Amino acid sequence: MDLAFTAEELAFRDEVRTWLEEHRPREQRPHDRKGIREFDTAWQRTQYEGGWAGIAWPTEYGGRGLPLVQALIWFEEYGRLGLPGIDACFVGLSHAGPTLIERASEAQKEYHLPRILEGKVVWCQGFSEPEAGSDLAALQTRAVIDGDQLVVTGQKIWTSYADVADWQELLVRTDRDAPKHKGITWVICDMSSPGIDVRPIRTMDGEEEFCEVFYNEVRIPLANVVGEINHGWSVAMSTLSFERGTAFTVNQVRLATVVEELIDLAKQRTSPDGRRPWIQDDEMARRLATVRAEVAAMRAMTYAGISRSMRHGSPGPEGSIIKLYYSDLAQEVYRLAFDLVGDDGIEFVSRWVKGGWSGGYLFSHAASIGGGTSEIQRNIIGERVLGLPR
């Protein structure tokens, strides 16, 4: 395995860095939901116009068709500069779009993919339900076929950005008598359809990023089904493997930046005994060195994962290892931040702002739940990576 970047990749990194430094948004990301949507989609449009949208997407669907390693370089430079995430565009770019590329009809691809890349639309993910999170196949939102439409009734929960979304990747039960994995359909839902009621949920970090979504006889054209009726489970597995794959790279790089900020902070702050900079305290130095080494280990795992994905075409279950490792590490890093800033961390500062330790700490708890909990990642690693018995 060659761990060094080629001259061509290094030149690409310079090009990315220069472009990002010139075009990065200068203003703060707003706090209101409409403002967030406008900000994120405008930044995505800027990237598209600059030729940076869909770096690893095939050229026939508007991407650059570059190898995944180039996408990794993009994410690394993006995270290094601490740029705002394009969170409202995340589902479209990171898992709905890639799922459509792999599984959708040509007509579906032709309509949706350019809109995602151009930042014209926001997508959300309607998978989880009140009684179906980890056990996703237990979902009960039902859809019956009526002519050339599906009629959907039920409820989803924890749907990030549903309040500002145009489209949704929606899982519905189309056969109630079949074994639970066999009666599910993956369908594209227009969020402006009559019968959809979206109710935001406020989380402990003060944000309202996710919602409950209620469906009361919502009509969706059968033409919006991706794959086949009742065969949506395997489409959903593609979506989840993309969700747990390279999409997390920006978060990982951001975490590396946070660790370096903490090391600077430990040089500036005095230890609790008031006698020396905190970095000179053996225990603090040990903890900082450990998280720095762990961030480096995570980076090595990401490189190995990308190298495997490039050989096999799609991300495999190994993404679960990185996701699990990231979740534990993010929580450790923010605990450390809190120990360092002490009472100064009590006042709430959003994670979107530099020095937002409290917001970052609260949000780090979401890492071990969203995209599948840490326990579920451990099950996947045990069963699908290590081949252990169920």
Ligand X SMILES: Cc1cc2nc3c(=O)[nH]c(=O)nc-3n(C[C@H](O)[C@H](O)[C@H](O)COP(=O)(O)OP(=O)(O)OC[C@H]3O[C@@H](n4cnc5c(N)ncnc54)[C@H](O)[C@@H]3O)c2cc1C
Phi, psi torsion values for 303, nearest 5 degrees? -60, -45
Between 204 and 289, name the residue whose CB sits nearer to ligand X. Answer: 204
Q: Residue type for 56, please?
A: A
**Residue 12 near residue 73, CB atoms below 8 Å:** yes
How many angstroms separate the CA atoms of 189 and 156, rounded? 13
Grouping H, G, I as helix, E, B as strand and the rest as coil, residue 119 is coil
CA 152 to chain CA centroid, Å, is 26
Closest approach of ligand X to the CB of residue 2, in Å: 36
Q: Give DSSP secondary structure letters for 196-245.
A: EEEEEE--TTS---EEEEEEEEEEEEGGGEES-TTBHHHHHHHHHHHHTT
Q: Which is nearer to ligand X, 149 or 373 (CB)?
A: 373
**What's the min distance (Å) between Cβ of 279 and ligand X?**
33
Catalytic, 260? Answer: no
- Residue number closest to ligand X, CB atom: 133
What do you get for the CA distance between the two ends of the chain, in Å?
A: 33
Give the residue with the Cβ less far from ligand X, 128 or 249.
128
Q: What sign does the CA torsion over 105, 138, 165, 223 have?
A: positive
**Beta bridge partners of residue 170, listed in sequence order:** 126, 187
Beta carbon of residue 326, minimum distance to ligand X (angstroms, whole number)? 13
Q: How far is the CB of 384 from ligand X (least distance, A)?
A: 14
The string of DSSP codes covering 302-338 is HHHHHHHHHHHSS--TTHHHHHHHHHHHHHHHHHHHH
The nearer residue to ligand X, 143 or 366, going by C-beta atoms, is 366
Q: Token pair for residue 29?
A: 């990301």
CB 161 to ligand X: min, Å: 7
Is the CB of 92 or the CB of 372 nearer to ligand X? 372
Distance from C-alpha of 237 to C-alpha of 22, rounded to nearest angstrom: 38
Binding site for ligand X (CB under 6 A): 124-128, 133-134, 158-160, 210, 366, 369-370, 372-373, 375-376, 379
In angstroms, what is the minimal distance from the CB of 33 to ligand X? 15
Q: Closer to ligand X by CB, 225 or 366: give it.
A: 366
List, in sequence order, every residue forming a beta bridge with 145; answer none if it has no partner. Answer: 150
Integer Cα distance of 252 and 295 in angstroms: 8
Q: Which is nearer to ligand X, 14 or 135 (CB)?
A: 135
Of 243, 260, 318, 375, which is the active-site residue? 243
Concatenated DSSP letters of 140-188: --EEEEETTEEEEEEEEEEEETGGG-SEEEEEEES-SSS-TTTSEEEEE
- The least distance separating ligand X from the CB of residue 167, rounded to whole angstroms, comes to 13
Residues annotated as catalytic (active site), given as ranges: 243
